[in-house]
Amino acid sequence: MRVTVVGAGVCGLTCALELAERGAIVEVLERAEQMGSASCSWFAGGMLSPWCERSVCDPIIATLGAGSIDWWRRRFPNTVRNGSLVVAQGRDISQLVEFARRTAQFEWLDETQLAAVEPDLAGRFKKALLFRDEGHLDPRAALVELTARLHESGVRIRFGANVTPELKLHADHVVDCRGLAARDALTDLRGVKGEMVLIRTREISLSRPVRILHPRIPMYVIPRAEGRFMVGATTIETDAPTRVSVRSMMELLGAAWSLHPVFAEAEIIEADAGLRPAFPDNLPKIRRLAGRFYVNGCYRHGYLLAPSLARMTAEAVLHDRHFPEVM
């Protein structure tokens, strides 16, 4: 069976790999000229945190995302499974209690226990939540690895391709993973802007993502290789593909500083923004319209949800299995 996947973001590449691993002949078309130049997947945090997300999202997000860490670890060995932390300043401790009330699969840490799991945060917070079963990855490295695995499987990725709906594709099935560009068919999609800052310092080391709760601007700091940390991310209802605003930059850097003052001396190496595709209910959907399968609406959870969506898409394409539009 020949399948054309349109879009080379995380959903497109995971769908393509899942299909290829099951024996389909797959081709990927991407309108951008190179990897990452037009994809919100490039600017993602890469947190694989189903239980943390359960505190603010529909429980189905945790259900779909629970198996994502194992999927990534089998295909991207640099996936880290050290868990994740949630902290709050003393004045915001009620936020931490409320966060815990809405989720599961965590343990409370006191100040001594927190220092044991993250020594560089010793003395910074009285209490924390540790989600031991969660993980994270570097999204850019993961996209590069997925691309390499697809090449090894004989999958051709054509960058700079014309991917309009009118394009006639010589395939048995088409899987459309174009994100916001698919609004020509998915008219209820909207854009949600997410801004991030990438900083570098050797003065602090973290083993896992840390979320900092605040009534207005909850943020997270994610460790990456070579002393880099990704700080994110804002959630702004807009379709405008603008860059990071002054206000957002101040909030992002302030969040890092509140986690540890050493971040005040960190080097800013990148600041950018991406537009996440979302449906009105913020839940992902697999739709079949006019002979195409549309996989879209991952909102803030692309890397967490992509493996489950890829498996379901492969079942639908190869075995005509039906899934409800809203998972």
- What would the pLDDT profile of 171-226 be if each residue is shown by its tens digit? 899 999 999 999 999 999 999 999 999 999 999 999 999 999 977 777 999 999 99
CA dist 211 and 206 (Å) reads 12
Q: Which residue has the tokens 């020949």?
A: 2
Which of these ranges, 58-62, 287-291, 320-324, has the smallest mean pLDDT?
A: 320-324
What are the pLDDT digits (tens) for 238-296? 877 678 889 889 999 999 999 999 999 999 999 998 899 999 999 999 999 988 999 99
Which of 147, 134, 149 lies closest to 55, judged by CA?
Answer: 134
Residue 38 pLDDT: 58
Domains of the chain in sequence order:
2-44+138-188+280-319 (3.50.50.60), 84-132+190-278 (3.30.9.10)
The DSSP line for 122-189 is TTT-SEEEEETT-EE--HHHHHHHHHHHHHHTT-EEEET----TT----SSEEEE--GGGGGGT-TT-
Residue 167 pLDDT: 59
CA dist 265 and 206 (Å) reads 16
Residue 39 pLDDT: 76
The whole-chain average pLDDT of the chain stands at 92
The DSSP line for 188-209 is T-EEEEEEEEEEE-SS---SS-
Bridge partner list, 6: 29, 176
Residue 166 pLDDT: 57
Is 234 within 8 Å of 193 (Cβ atoms)?
A: yes
pTM to 2 decimals?
0.94
Whether the pLDDT of residue 327 is over 70: the answer is no
